[in-house]
Amino acid sequence: MSSTMAVARSLRRTNPITLVLAGLLSIGFLIFIFSSTDAGPKLHVPGARQLLKSKDAASNALSPPSLPFFKSNLKAGEKAPPPPVVHYHMNNVTNSADPIGNRESVLILTPLARFYEEYWTNLVALNYPHELISLGFIIPKGREGNAATAQLQEQIARTQSSSKRFASITILRQEDEPPLTSQSEHDRHAMSAQKERRAAMSRARNALLFTTLGPTTSWVLWLDSDIVETPHSLIQDLAAFDKPIIVPNCFQRFYDKEKGAMDVRPYDFNSWIDSNTAQNLASKMGPDEILLEGYAEMATYRSLMAYMSHPGGNPKDIVNLDGVGGTALLVKGDVHRDGAMFPPFPFYHLIETEGFAKMAKRLGWSSWGVPNYFVYHYNE
C-alpha cells in the first residue's frame, strides 16, 4: 500500500529527535556548457583530492548545498580583498506553464534507501533541460544506506561526466543508524508502524527540503527512489497545468498469471478527495490519532485518484484533491517557501504528504491530480 516501502525499511524507527545531517556530497560546478568566447568570470575548479585537504572548506553555513566554501589562500601578512557585492535581479523567478521557455529551475528531491538503476535511468532520460535541474538526496546511515550511496555515486560519476549532467547534486547522510526493530511486532500493528514510518519519512523530507531549497527554485519535484518509469516530459507536462501542487497517478506494472501477460494496477492510494465519513472519523479521534488510507478497519470512503483513471482517459483531465501522495509530486517553490512542509505529527489527523496537502491548503494553495497521467512504481 505504501508508496515508499524501500525507504521505509531503513527509515523505520529512525530516532527522529536525534536526526542530524551527517554527510554532504555536493557536486557539479561547471554546468553551462558555454562554448563561446564570452568574457564571463572564470572559476578555478580544484580537484576533489585537493578539496579534501582543506579541513575548513564549507564551514560557511550557506554554501554546502551548492558550492563548497573555499578559504582564501593568502600570503603571510597579505590582506584579503573586500568580498564582492553581487546583486541578483530576481523579478523573474517565475513558475509558469512554460517552464522551459522561461528557463525555470527545478529541484528534484528523493529520499533514498535502496538504489534502483531503473530510477536513475528514468531520471537521466527526463528531457527537461538538465542544466536547470538540481538533485537532492537524503540517505539513512548504516549498511543499506552505504550501499545505496555507493551505487548512487557510481551513477553520478558517469552521468556528470556526460552531456546529460545535472546542474548540481546534494547528498545528505543522516547521522543516526535506524535501530533494529522486531519485524514481527510491527507486523502485528501495521497501522502504528505506518504512522511511525511516515513520521520518520516526514522528518527526512523536511531536512532535505529546508537545506536545499533556494530563493530561485521555481519548482520542486518530489520523486521517490522506487519510481522507475515516467514520461520523459514529466516535469514540463505537469508544470503545464500551472497548479501549485500537482500529482500524477502512481501505478505498478505486474505479470498477470491468469491472462499470461503484463498489466498495470493502482499503487499509491494517498491522493484522494475527502469524504464525510473520513471527516466524521477524524472528529472522534484523539489528538494523536491519524487517518490512514487503505485499511479495511478504517474505511474512509474517500474518492481515490487511483480509481479515477479509465482506458482512453484524457491525460489532461485534472481533479481537485484534498490529500496527495509523494511518489511523484510537483510543487511550486512558493508553496514551500510559504512554509508548507511534511508534518511528522498528526495535522488535522493527517501526516506526511497527506498532511502536506492539508497544510498547503491552510496556506491558501490547492492540490490537483491527473488521473490519466501515469508514473510507475518498482515491483519487488
- Using CB under 8 A as the binding rule, the residues of this chain from 114 to 173 that contact its own copies are 131-132, 134, 136, 153, 156-157, 160-161, 165, 167-168, 170, 172-173
With 0-12 CB in 10 A as exposed, 13-18 as middle and 19+ as buried, what is 161?
exposed
Q: How many CA atoms lie within 13 A of 282 on its CB side?
A: 19
The piece of 104-112, 114-122, 253-261, 323-331 that touches its own copies (CB under 8 A) is 104-112
Q: Is 337 in the site for its own copies (CB under 8 A)?
A: yes
Q: Indicate the residue among 241 and 264 with the shorter CB distance to its own copies.
A: 241
Nearest to its own copies of 35, 184 (CB atom): 35
The residue count for binding its own copies (CB under 8 A) is 121
Q: Which stretch binds its own copies (CB under 8 A): 54-62, 179-187, 190-198, 312-320?
A: 54-62
d(CA 377, CA 114) in angstroms, rounded, equals 13
Q: What angle do CA 154, 160, 165 make, to 5 degrees?
A: 135
Query: Cβ closer to its own copies: 22 or 281?
Result: 22
Q: Minimum Å distance from CB 315 to its own copies?
A: 28
What's the one-letter identity of residue 121?
A: T
Span of 3-11, 109-117, 252-260, 337-345 interacting with its own copies by CB under 8 A: 337-345
Least Å from the CB of residue 172 to its own copies: 6
Closest CA to 251 of 280, 228, 217: 228
Q: Which whole-number Å values give the CA distances from 245 to 54, 309, 321, 347, 361, in the listed order?
A: 42, 19, 10, 18, 10
* Residues of span 345-374 touching its own copies by CB under 8 A: 345, 362-365
Q: What is the spatial distance between Cα 156 and Cα 305, in angstroms, rounded to a whole number? A: 34
Q: For residues 36 and 184, which CB has a smaller minimum distance to its own copies in the complex? A: 36
Q: What nine digits make up the cell of 114?
A: 535502496
Return the axis-axis angle of helices 190-212 and 352-362, rounded to nearest 10°.
60
Binding its own copies (rule: CB under 8 A), the pick from 35, 182, 184, 283 is 35
Site residues for its own copies, 60-89, by CB under 8 A, read: 60-78, 80-89
How many Cβ atoms sit within 10 Å of the Cβ of residue 77? 5
Which residues, numbered 250-269, are part of the site for its own copies (CB under 8 A)?
none
| Shortest distance (Å) from residue 237 CB to its own copies | 20
Report the alpha-carbon angle 136-108-129, nearest 5.
Answer: 120
- Between residues 70 and 116, which has the closer beta carbon with respect to its own copies? 70
